[in-house]
Amino acid sequence: MAEQTRWLTEREQRAWLAFLAMERLLDEALDRQLQRDAGMSHAYYRILAILSAAPNHTLRMSELAEQDRASQSRLTHAINRLEQAGWVRREKGATDRRVVHAQLTEAGYEVLRQTAPGHVEAVRANLFDQLSEEQVDQLRNICEAVLTKLEADHGPARVPRRD
Amino acid sequence: MAEQTRWLTEREQRAWLAFLAMERLLDEALDRQLQRDAGMSHAYYRILAILSAAPNHTLRMSELAEQDRASQSRLTHAINRLEQAGWVRREKGATDRRVVHAQLTEAGYEVLRQTAPGHVEAVRANLFDQLSEEQVDQLRNICEAVLTKLEADHGPARVPRRD
DNA sequence: TGCCAGAGGTTGAAAGTTCAATAGAAGTGT
DNA sequence: ACACTTCTATTGAACTTTCAACCTCTGGCA
């Protein structure tokens, strides 16, 4: 024991602080744009976008949660809201009565269609327009590397066997 | 008008989705670690860490908000909590009676001191250990570029002159 | 002095998120 | 058939964040 802490190097520290700041400001910028132009949060936009890419604009709650990297509880609450807004509809599974399917409504698809261009423009303006093509690939590689680690750690919600 | 939307390219799309997923999982991982080992959220840790780096472990509310990239309201609420926990103390400005100084208490410094190694280890394990040295610099450059843009847009709360 | 616009913070309510507990349905074995 | 366990999703309470309204103090200026 008594390993001494491997503190962050100067360069790591700078990268980390820049990342934290950038992440917060970027999220806020996207939220502000969507809230202003569509009365919708980025969180909800993401859900609608994921649904719109699914077959029949429909996904089971758990599948939706996984693609959104959100907890099931978070999704339940979010879908409650989106249902109230008339943008998503719930339907119980026909075969397995435990599952619930969330489906984009016409209105939901429409609002997404109208909102998407402004949102994409904001993502461009704030992120991709600031980066070279190389940097876009660098960013992807960095995120995918970290993602791999995070999902390896986290995916195993199924307990590690010891038999 | 009627500009047609510049949708994201395939590569941009992949970078964007990876970024969103990574950001969410990383935040959750850090929050879980701090919550588990110290009963503290990452949001609070950040505030304590910023204060600990300030002269006399003290900062005005607005300065703290700026360094944390948080709204003043958010900070007020957070400092309320941290004050209840006994980790931060408020003090009114002596000269300008409007300002409030937030100061780390002994207990606050102590909890930060004990918590920091575990947190740094988590940041390392989840982020920097997954990256090459080059990638660390790439990440910093990317984040700083985006940050520059975001702060240029946002800093000007002071209205853009047109005289 | 006295008015007032603006700066610095706080407040309370609404909305969003987390966490642990729960309900209900489907498999599993006896 | 029955009891058990697991899977899927929801619930409600506690906590966090946002948003707009508000309070207090300062500095400018007539």
pLDDT by residue (tens digit) across B24-63?
Answer: 999 999 999 999 998 999 999 999 999 999 999 999 999 9
Distance A40 CA to C21 C1' (A): 31
In a domain, A98, yes or no: yes
User: In this model, does residue B158 exceed pLDDT 80?
Assistant: no
What are the beta bridge partners of residue B90? Answer: B102
Q: Label residue B2 by pLDDT band (50, 70, 90).
A: low
The predicted structure's pLDDT at residue B157:
42
Nearest chain A residue to B69, by CA: A21
Q: Which nucleotides of C are covered by protein (CB under 7 A)?
A: 6-13, 15-21, 24-27
In a domain, B134, yes or no: no
Contact across the interface for A150 and B26, Cβ inside 8 Å: yes
Supply the range of the domain harboring residue A34: 28-154
In a domain, A138, yes or no: yes
For residue B70, give how far its alpha carbon lies from the nearest alpha carbon of chain A (Å).
8
Q: Label residue B5 by pLDDT band (50, 70, 90).
A: confident
In a domain, B115, yes or no: yes
B98 touches strand C (CB under 7 A): yes
For A114-123, write each residue's pLDDT tens digit: 999 999 999 9
The predicted structure's pLDDT at residue A2:
64
Count of domains in chain A?
Answer: 1
Q: Label residue B160 by pLDDT band (50, 70, 90).
A: very low
Which of A127, A124, A145, A129 minimizes the C-alpha distance to B143? A127
In a domain, B160, yes or no: no
In a domain, A133, yes or no: yes
For residues B137 and A19, is the Cβ–Cβ distance under 8 A? no
B82 phi and psi, to 5 degrees? -65, -30
3-state secondary structure of A91: strand
Whole-number average pLDDT of chain B: 92
Q: Residue B38 is part of a domain; what is its CATH number?
A: 1.10.10.10
Mean pLDDT over B132-158 rounds to 88
In a domain, A14, yes or no: no
In a domain, A48, yes or no: yes
pLDDT tens for chain A, residues 1 to 163? 567 888 999 999 999 999 999 999 999 999 999 999 989 999 999 999 999 999 999 999 999 999 999 999 999 999 999 999 999 999 998 899 999 999 999 999 999 999 999 999 999 999 999 999 999 999 999 999 999 999 988 765 444 333 3
Contact across the interface for B5 and A120, Cβ inside 8 Å: yes
A22 phi and psi, to 5 degrees? -65, -45
For residues A35 and A41, is the Cβ–Cβ distance under 8 A? yes
Per CB-CB distance under 8 Å, the chain A contacts of B131 are 142, 145-146
B69 touches strand D (CB under 7 A): no
The predicted structure's pLDDT at residue A119:
96
